[in-house]
Amino acid sequence: MPTIALLPGDGIGPEVASAARRVLDAVATDLTYEEHLVGGASIDAHGTAITDEAMAAIKASDAVLLGAVGGPKWDSTDPTAVRPEQGLFRLRADLGLFANLRPVRPLPALYDASPLKRELIENTNMLIVRELTGGLYYGERGRSDGRAFDTCVYSVEEIERIARTGFEAAKTRVTSVDKANVLETSRLWREVVTALHEAEYQHIELEHQLVDSAAMRLIAAPRDFDVILTENMFGDILSDEASMLTGSLGMLPTASLGAGDGPSLFEPVHGTAPDIAGKGIANPLGMILSAALMLRHGFGRDDAAAALESAVDRALEGGIRPRDLGGTATTAETTEAVLGELK
């Protein structure tokens, strides 16, 4: 029996995690769940954003399903403060999850839920491949003498392995996004991506684009993109921007994958939404679609994953709309609508 480490986290994390659990129970009855604290919930209980015991149990699991971590209660500008996000960073680093896949596929039922014109977003189908264990997130940082610094470091090996993920996932084209007109790490990125393309992936079209104009093109012509390959921080920012093509940040799922045989991690792109936490109105669909990615990438259960995804499609076609998509449905009502389509 596969074991899932379920990490609800903070804010709306537990609300959307229990929604995902309900729909998973409907499509995969043989999965077992072990819950662990992460983020602010773990800080409150243990003083640390994730304990060694939780990490050990998670490493021994078959997949990790996470809600979201963080919130105003633990926010601080003190450089020595324990932060909820540290739990997430430890999970990503210790599990070796360097490849973060963020599919952006606006559903026809939601074409008119996006603030962008329907003609622009129709048939958009892109995958953001975000490097997840390097760059600014993991570089040395600190403060001294009234100054603060963060460092961005990338090695050839780190760039090559994520570039390979991008080329393997591409159908026609990889758009590698960087800031090579300013950053040395971006110039190395461009060099390594180009060399790998030359050596092994000439059947895929490769283009390079600077991140500022890529952010513009994402809104102006989203259909131009197949795979967007980019570093950690740029991928973080561009994926929240891209989420609006689907109508809401609450719709986007992600899979974080590594090279080894340890568990992969699945979570929605959104955070803990402190402004709506506790109200029962969060959109659970990004989390439910992350559970579908878990079934597909974590367990190779393509049929169950597709069943879940098409139940979400049909529920939306049937008219269910949580608040972030312009409707009034609660988290529970949205979840029921998906469950109804699974019966």
- Residues forming contacts to ligand IPM in the complex (CB under 6 A) are 70, 85, 88, 236, 269, 271
Strand partners, 68: 9
Per the structure block, which two tokens stand in for 159?
């760039």
Separation CA 8–CA 10 (nearest Å): 7
Is 137 catalytic? The answer is yes
Strand partners, 329: 322
Helix, strand or coil, per DSSP, at residue 4: strand
The distance of closest approach from Cβ of residue 304 to ligand IPM in the complex, given in angstroms and rounded to an integer, is: 25
* From Mn ion, ligand IPM, ligand NAD, none, interface partner of 71 (C-beta below 5 to 8 A by class): ligand NAD
The DSSP code sequence of 168-192 is HH-SSEEEEEE-TTT-HHHHHHHHH
Separation CA 67–CA 15 (nearest Å): 8
> Strand 253-257 to strand 264-268: parallel, antiparallel, or no bridges (unpaired)?
antiparallel
Number of residues written out for the chain: 343
Whether 116 contacts 230, CB under 8 Å: no
* From Mn ion, ligand NAD, ligand IPM, none, interface partner of 276 (C-beta below 5 to 8 A by class): ligand NAD
Is 236 catalytic? The answer is yes
Q: Which is nearer to ligand NAD, 102 or 301 (CB)?
A: 102
Q: Which is nearer to ligand NAD, 283 or 335 (CB)?
A: 283
236 binds Mn ion (CB under 5 A): yes
Q: CA end-to-end span of the chain, whole Å?
A: 23
* From ligand NAD, ligand IPM, Mn ion, none, interface partner of 231 (C-beta below 5 to 8 A by class): none
321 binds ligand NAD (CB under 6 A): no
Per the structure block, which two tokens stand in for 32?
């077992």
The single residue of 111, 137, 154, 201 carrying the catalytic annotation is 137
15 binds Mn ion (CB under 5 A): no
Helix, strand or coil, per DSSP, at residue 301: coil
Among 68, 227, 242, 337, binds ligand NAD (CB under 6 A): 68
Is 212 catalytic? The answer is yes
Separation CA 32–CA 231 (nearest Å): 34
* From ligand IPM, ligand NAD, Mn ion, none, interface partner of 272 (C-beta below 5 to 8 A by class): ligand NAD
Is 179 catalytic? The answer is yes
Q: Which is nearer to ligand NAD, 35 or 224 (CB)?
A: 35
Chain positions contacting ligand NAD, by CB under 6 A: 12, 16, 68-71, 85, 88, 249-250, 267, 270-276, 282-283, 286, 324
As annotated, the active-site residues are: 137, 179, 212, 236, 240
